[in-house]
């Protein structure tokens, strides 16, 4: 079943990039867009990420095959609430949020059953530290992994919604993504380690250096590429990460606590042979990581 009409609710960096990627890959249908920020919406329209501005987001959603939810996690949660009563079982809701367990919890009993719309939780592992439709990029997803974390609460999508889900997975493949299916809880733990941990560590390092160098900011440019890379994520917007911190706090806290202990271990062993073991482990990690030579 081909997807003919799409509504994107939240046309910031990711939502607008999806629109641009769809059109770059020849999506022939209409893409209605809506965003709480009119500037984001008009930028998305002027860049061609959406074909039309939705005057009323709920009306646009009821007239679309697929509704893509962008924006912070709490915003996505609200849309799940508002959309459930107005959609039918030949429609699919999908999202690009960074946390999945809370979304599946909220969708329970209201999606993925006969008479209900389908909900396919998705999470492209791509982004930039600077949000906004102005930074959207049709190639943003190329070479990255698009995670799916279908809710498994004993329910099943209606056949029409399932066909739309299959069609959406095909589009994601056309964006240049590998897809991977994970249980929602496992998704959230994985992302705590490989996405949320790096973000919060970079934020902590930036905040610390901001205080430490308040009177000597002129010295900061001395740090080269190493400092630049380790602090790039410090530019990430609070609005997005507040919701992630709230909805995945246990897994994030465990990862941060483990890293605190690991840094302390290293600090206590700056002059012992254990330092070599830690560097050896880190070297091994990099050897098995993608792009290890870059």
- Residue list 201-220, contact with its own copies (CB under 8 A): 201-213, 217, 219-220
Contact with its own copies (CB under 8 A) among 27, 96, 195, 215: 195
**Least CB distance from residue 227 to its own copies, whole Å?**
5
Question: Between residue 223 and residue 282, which ones bind its own copies under the rule CB under 8 A?
Answer: 223-238, 241-242, 245-246, 249, 252-253, 256-260, 262-267, 270-271, 275-276, 278-282
Which of 120/164 has CB closer to its own copies?
Answer: 120
Question: Between residue 108 and residue 137, which ones bind its own copies under the rule CB under 8 A?
Answer: 125-127, 129-130
Which of 55, 56, 43, 51 lies closest to 11, judged by CA? 43
Q: Does 291 bind its own copies (CB under 8 A)?
A: yes
Q: Does 1 bind its own copies (CB under 8 A)?
A: no
**Least CB distance from residue 143 to its own copies, whole Å?**
9
**Least CB distance from residue 194 to its own copies, whole Å?**
4
Which of 55/211 has CB closer to its own copies?
Answer: 211
Cα atoms found within 13 Å of the Cα of residue 30, Cβ hemisphere only? 12
Which of 109/181 has CB closer to its own copies?
Answer: 181
Q: Does 185 bind its own copies (CB under 8 A)?
A: no
Please give, one letter per residue, the 3-state secondary structure of the chain.
CCCCEEEEECCCHHHHHHHHHHHHCCCCCEEEEECCCHHHHHHHHHCCCCCEECCCHHHHHHCCCEEEECCCHHHHHHHHHHHCCCCCCCCEEEECCCCCHHHHHHHCCCCCCCCCCEEECEEECCCCCCCCHHHCCCCCCCCCEEEECCCCCCCCCCHHHHHHHHHHHHHHHHCCCEEEECCHHHHHHHHHHHHHHHHHHHHHHHHHHHHHCCCCHHHHHHCCHHHHHHHHHHHCCHHHHHHHHHHCHHHHHHHHHHHHHHHHHHHHCCCCCHHHHHHHHHHHHHHCCCCCCC
**Least CB distance from residue 132 to its own copies, whole Å?**
12
Q: Does 139 bind its own copies (CB under 8 A)?
A: no
**Least CB distance from residue 195 to its own copies, whole Å?**
6
Question: Between residue 46 and residue 85, which ones bind its own copies under the rule CB under 8 A?
Answer: none
Q: Does 86 bind its own copies (CB under 8 A)?
A: no
Which of 4/283 has CB closer to its own copies?
Answer: 283
Contact with its own copies (CB under 8 A) among 104, 157, 194, 215: 194
């Amino acid at each position: 079943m081909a997807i003919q009409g799409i509504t994107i609710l939240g046309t910031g960096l990711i939502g607008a990039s999806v629109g641009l990627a769809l059109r770059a890959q020849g999506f022939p249908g209409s893409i209605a867009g809506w965003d709480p920020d009119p500037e984001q919406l008009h930028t998305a329209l002027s860049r061609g990420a959406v074909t039309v501005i939705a005057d009323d987001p709920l009306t646009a959603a009821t007239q679309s095959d697929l509704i893509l939810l962008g924006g912070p996690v709490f915003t996505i949660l609200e849309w799940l609430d508002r959309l459930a009563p107005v959609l039918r079982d030949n429609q699919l809701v999908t999202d690009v949020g960074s946390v999945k367990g809370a979304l599946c919890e909220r969708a329970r009993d209201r999606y993925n059953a006969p008479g209900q719309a389908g909900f396919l939780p998705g999470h492209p592992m791509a982004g930039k530290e600077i949000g906004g439709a102005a930074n959207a990029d049709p190639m943003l997803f190329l070479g990255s992994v698009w995670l799916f974390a279908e809710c498994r609460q004993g329910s099943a999508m209606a056949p029409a919604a399932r066909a739309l889900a299959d069609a959406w997975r095909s589009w994601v493949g056309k964006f240049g993504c590998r897809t991977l299916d994970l249980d929602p809880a496992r998704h959230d733990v994985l992302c705590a380690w490989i996405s949320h941990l790096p973000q919060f560590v970079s934020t902590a390092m930036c905040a610390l250096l901001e205080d430490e160098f308040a009177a000597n900011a002129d010295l900061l440019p001395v740090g080269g590429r190493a400092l630049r890379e380790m602090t790039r994520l410090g530019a990430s917007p609070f609005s997005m990460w507040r919701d992630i911190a709230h909805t995945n706090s246990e897994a994030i806290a465990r990862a941060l606590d483990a890293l605190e202990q690991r840094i302390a271990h290293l600090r206590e062993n700056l002059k012992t042979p254990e330092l070599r073991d830690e560097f050896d482990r880190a070297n091994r990690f990099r050897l098995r990581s993608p792009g290890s030579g870059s």
